[in-house]
Every structure is written in structure tokens, then in C-alpha cells.
Amino acid sequence: MAEPEYSIVIPAFNEQVRIGATLDRVIECIEARHWPAEVLVVNDGSQDRTAEIVARAVARHSIIRLIENPGNRGKGYSVRNGILQARGAIIMFTDADLSAPIEEAERLFTAIAHGADVAIGSRWLDRSRQTLQQPMYRRFFGRCFNWLTRLVMHLPLADTQCGFKAFRREAAQAIFIRQRIERWGFDPEILYIALRLGLRVQEVAVTWGHDERSRISYLKDGLKMLEELIRVRFYSLAGHYDEDRYLDEGLIQCGGCRKEKATPTAKA
């Protein structure tokens, strides 16, 4: 099989209700746009019929792959597991609820084609693109977390948490081999790593609609994510993200890592 140009990674935990429809929509989009693509569904130890439903989709569509985690490890682990096994020149991940329609991936791909190493979907660059807004309390906690992320991590980005991000293959390998946070707080970590490596990170306004079935608890998970932000700073000070350490150990070939610092840009 020829190497795909695009890899679409979908982390899934107990997604039997929507994973079938999600895969149908993703395949429909790929076929309509003639993308040379593969789809990797990473099953994070689901206790329902998620794996069974994906396996049936695999039987119908050769471009779908099912990857099994060793038990329930978290969204961050799932995304890393899928991305490091992806074969595409451009690798993206999206949430199983498709809150950002998969068709919006074109906007991320375009940003990378125009020079970005990392393109991240943003819900806040253009609020008119939000088809269904979050409840007020979720917007409040989301804004608070973004503020804390800017304060603790010094990330000059409007939206770190949108589960809709794409990477050049070399950038993805360089970033995710260093990733250490395995649950909800992995998004700020991978962006922190990208900027530390001097990669160009570009925010892209995407259409997005809130899904009421979201499992995140803004109080419980928010406190955990704050703890993980502090851990990222500790890992950084301890040298865990240093480029030379990984190159010396022969773990990656970081041909895409630039030495100069790049400034994140935004695209409406």
C-alpha cells in the first residue's frame, strides 16, 4: 500500500454510541475530497463495544486501522500512541465527537502547506464559527484554564485545548517522543514542546459545536490539569524536553527542528 499523505488519529474510550457514525463521516469526507489518507482509531481500554464497532469498519475500509492501548491510559497516551504509529506526511488528531467537523481539516492542512509545522484549531479566533456554544459555566472554566496556561506555561495562544490539531510528520515525531503527560493536560505540553523546539505553531479558526456528552469535569479534571501544567514546568527545568538529549540517545531524527525561536501566528 502506498504511503498516505494524511493520517487522521481518533482517540476513543467507551465511544460505542458515536464511533460508527464518526467513522462513516470521516470516510465520506476522505472519499469526497480524494485524500490519500489513513484513519487510526486508538481504543483506550474501552469497556463497551467500541473495539467491535471499529473492527467492523476496518473490514469494510482498508484505510482504517484499530490500535489497542494496554488498558485505559488516557487521551494523551492515546493520541501519542496513534501519532507515533501514523505513516502520513501530515498527521492530525480529532476528537471522536467531531465537535470540529472533519471537513475543517482542510484549514489545518492549508496552514501546514503554507509553512506551519503545527496547525491547531481554535474556537476563539472567530466566535461566529461556533455552531453550538458551551454553557456559561464551561466557557468560564475554559477561559480560566486558558489564563492559567498562559500564566504557568507562557503559551501565547488563544485556545490550547481544542482537540483538533495537525503536524508535519517530522514535527509530530519530535514533539510526541518527548511527551510525558498522558491525560487531559497533554495539549499544553505538546504546544510547549513545539515552541521550545522552535517550531512554527499557527492557530486556525475552525467551525466548532459543543457536544453535551463531553465527559470532562471542569472542577476535578481542571485541578488535575493545573497539576500537570506544573509538572511540565518541572520536566522542562529537569531537561526532559532538551533536543540534544534525545538526539544523543538516538531516539529520533529531528530533521524538522529549527534552532531559532518561532512566533506563533493566527489565521482567521
Helix (H), strand (E), coil (C) string for the chain: CCCCCEEEEEEECCCCCCHHHHHHHHHHHHHHHCCCEEEEEEECCCCCCHHHHHHHHHHHCCCEEEEECCCCCCHHHHHHHHHHHCCCCEEEEECCCCCCCHHHHHHHHHHHHCCCCEEEEECCCCHHHEEECCCHHHHHHHHHHHHHHHHHHCCCCCCCCCCEEEEEHHHHHHHHCCCCCCCCCHHHHHHHHHHHCCCCEEEEECCEECCCCCCCCCCHHHHHHHHHHHHHHHHHHCCCCCHHHHHHCCCCCCCCCCCCCCCCEEEC
pLDDT reported for residue 158: 85
CB atoms within 10 A of CB 169: 18
CA distances from 103 to 31, 36, 59, 112, 152 (A): 11, 15, 24, 16, 33
In a domain, 108, yes or no: no
Q: How many domains does the chain have?
A: 2
pLDDT reported for residue 258: 40
Q: Are residues 125 and 25 in the same domain?
A: no
pLDDT reported for residue 195: 95
The answer to whether 128 touches 235, Cβ cutoff 8 Å, is no
Q: Are residues 60 and 185 in the same domain?
A: no
Q: Are residues 137 and 31 in the same domain?
A: no
In a domain, 247, yes or no: yes
Q: What is the pTM of this model?
A: 0.85
Can you tell me the distance from the alpha carbon of 34 to that of 29, in angstroms, rounded to the nearest whole number? 8
The answer to whether 179 touches 80, Cβ cutoff 8 Å, is yes
pLDDT reported for residue 248: 42
CB atoms within 10 A of CB 19: 24
Can you tell me the distance from the alpha carbon of 107 to that of 206, in angstroms, rounded to the nearest whole number? 8
In a domain, 164, yes or no: no
Q: Are residues 67 and 126 in the same domain?
A: no
Out of 98, 123, 142, a domain closes at 98
What's the CATH number where 24 sits? Answer: 3.90.550.10
Q: Are residues 236 and 209 in the same domain?
A: yes
Give me 191's grid cell.
504546544
In a domain, 151, yes or no: yes
In a domain, 103, yes or no: no
The answer to whether 177 touches 84, Cβ cutoff 8 Å, is yes
Q: Are residues 119 and 251 in the same domain?
A: yes
Q: Are residues 151 and 237 in the same domain?
A: yes
Give the distance from CA 179 to its chain's centroid: 12
Residue 93 pairs with which residues in a beta bridge?
A: 9, 165
Q: Are residues 85 and 147 in the same domain?
A: no
pLDDT reported for residue 217: 60
pLDDT reported for residue 213: 54
In a domain, 104, yes or no: no
Give the distance from CA 52 to its chain's centroid: 24
Residue 9 pairs with which residues in a beta bridge?
A: 40, 93
pLDDT of the chain, 268 residues: tens digit per residue: 578 999 999 999 999 999 999 999 999 999 999 999 999 999 999 999 999 999 999 999 999 999 999 999 999 999 999 999 999 999 999 999 999 999 999 999 999 999 999 999 998 777 666 655 656 656 666 667 777 777 778 888 888 889 999 999 999 999 999 999 998 889 999 999 999 999 999 999 999 875 555 556 655 666 787 889 889 999 999 998 986 555 444 444 333 344 344 444 544 3
In a domain, 106, yes or no: no
Q: Are residues 125 and 257 in the same domain?
A: yes
Q: Are residues 17 and 130 in the same domain?
A: no
| Domain, as residue range, for 77 | 1-98
Q: Are residues 27 and 138 in the same domain?
A: no
Give me 3's grid cell.
504511503
The answer to whether 21 touches 80, Cβ cutoff 8 Å, is no
In a domain, 140, yes or no: yes
Q: Are residues 76 and 136 in the same domain?
A: no
Q: State the pairing for strand pair 164-168/118-122.
A: antiparallel
